[in-house]
Amino acid sequence: MSNGITHMAIAATVVGGAAAYSDSQAGTQSLKPVAAAGLAAALANLPDRLEPAIHPHHRQFFHSLAFGVTVGYVGYQIYEWQPVEEWQKVLRYGLLVACGAYLAHLAADALTTRSLPLLGKL
C-alpha cells in the first residue's frame, strides 16, 4: 500500500520526468523539471487530504475512477489553453503539475489490492 512518502516520490518522478521530456523536445534546458517535481511532491497527497486515510475504506469520490477521468479532462483542457500573459503561463504550468500529481496518486492507489471505486460516495 502506498504511503504519503511513496506518493510524493511517484508524483515527483512522473511529473518531473514529464517536464524534463518536454524541455528536451523543445530543445531547451531549464529548472522547470525541478520546480515541477517539487510542486508535484508537495501536492501528491491532496486526495488523502480531501478524504483522509483514517480507515481502510476511505477511498470514495475523490479517489474514484470517475473523478480521475474528470481531473484528466480538466488537465487536457488546461494543456490546450494558450495563455498570453506571463502570469497565465505560470498558472497553466502549476495547474498541469497539480493535475499530474493528483493522477499519479490515483494511479498508485489503483495498483493496490483495494484499487479505486468507480464512483464512490459524495
**Domain interval for residue 23:** 4-110
* Predicted local distance difference test score (pLDDT) of residue 56: 65
Could you tell me if residue 84 is inside a domain? yes
Are 80 and 19 in contact, with CB atoms under 8 Å apart? Answer: no
Question: Please, is 17 exposed, middle or buried when counting C-beta atoms within 10 Å of its C-beta (0-12, 13-18, 19+)?
Answer: middle
Could you tell me if residue 120 is inside a domain? no
* Predicted local distance difference test score (pLDDT) of residue 58: 77
Could you tell me if residue 98 is inside a domain? yes
Could you tell me if residue 118 is inside a domain? no
Could you tell me if residue 115 is inside a domain? no
* Predicted local distance difference test score (pLDDT) of residue 104: 97
Chunked into runs of 10 residues, the chain (122 residues) has average pLDDT values of: 88 97 95 97 94 78 94 98 97 98 95 87 66
Structural domains of the chain, count = 1
pTM over 0.85: yes
- How far is 12 from 35, CA to CA, in rounded Å? 10
What distances in angstroms separate CA 44 from CA 14, 36, 80, 87, 104, one per listed residue? 11, 12, 23, 23, 8
CA 17-99-23 angle, 5° bins = 30
* Predicted local distance difference test score (pLDDT) of residue 34: 97
Count of CB atoms within 10 A of residue 16's CB? 22
